[in-house]
Amino acid sequence: MGSRHDGPVSEELAEETSSSGKSISDLLIDIRSLVGETVSATTEEMSAGMEEVAASIADVSDISHRTSNEAELMATGTAEQLVSAEKIQISAKELRDMSQQLQNDLSKFVLCNDV
């Protein structure tokens, strides 16, 4: 009695198990595919982000180099202006000394109307 009944039930259970196994297998394939796509998309996004960061760093580096070069030019210009200012100061002192000497020399002359 039990063996007659076990045949169709066992066959039915085997079919359900097989069907469930296929469903599980299909779900696992779908999950792997989704995970693969997500990882791929995330990797592409990260790669694009890294490229943007690298480009920004290159821009900052270029700006830094230009700023450094301009600062160097300004320092050179400032040094040249300092040298020029020192020369002007020396020339002004020489002119002042010459003016005093000229006044001293002129003070030795007596004009006829002053006598």
Instruction: Give pLDDT tens digits for 81-104.
Output: 999 999 999 999 999 999 999 999
pLDDT band at residue 64 under the 50/70/90 scheme: very high
What whole-number distance in Å separates Cα of residue 19 and Cα of residue 13? 10
Higher pLDDT, 17 or 27: 27
* Residue 29, domain member (yes or no): yes
* Residue 52, domain member (yes or no): yes
Residue 28 has, within 13 A of its CA and on its CB side, a CA count of: 6
The pLDDT score that the predictor gives to residue 6 is: 58
Residue 79 has pLDDT above 70, yes or no: yes
Alpha helices in the chain (DSSP H): 2-106
Report the chain's mean pLDDT, rounded to a whole number.
86
Print burial letters for 77-89: b (CB count within 10 Å at least 16), e (below 16): eeeeeeeeeeeee
pTM recorded for the entire structure: 0.48
Token readout for 37 is 């796509």
* Residue 78, domain member (yes or no): yes
**For the chain, what is the domain count?**
1
* Residue 53, domain member (yes or no): yes
Residue 26 has pLDDT above 70, yes or no: yes
* Residue 43, domain member (yes or no): yes
Instruction: Please name the residue that has the structure tokens 């069907």.
Output: 19
- Domain limits for position 75: 2-106
With CA atoms as reference, report the closest residue to 38 among 26, 30, 27, 50: 30
* Residue 115, domain member (yes or no): no
Token readout for 86 is 């020192």
* Residue 16, domain member (yes or no): yes
pLDDT band at residue 2 under the 50/70/90 scheme: very low
Token readout for 36 is 């693969």
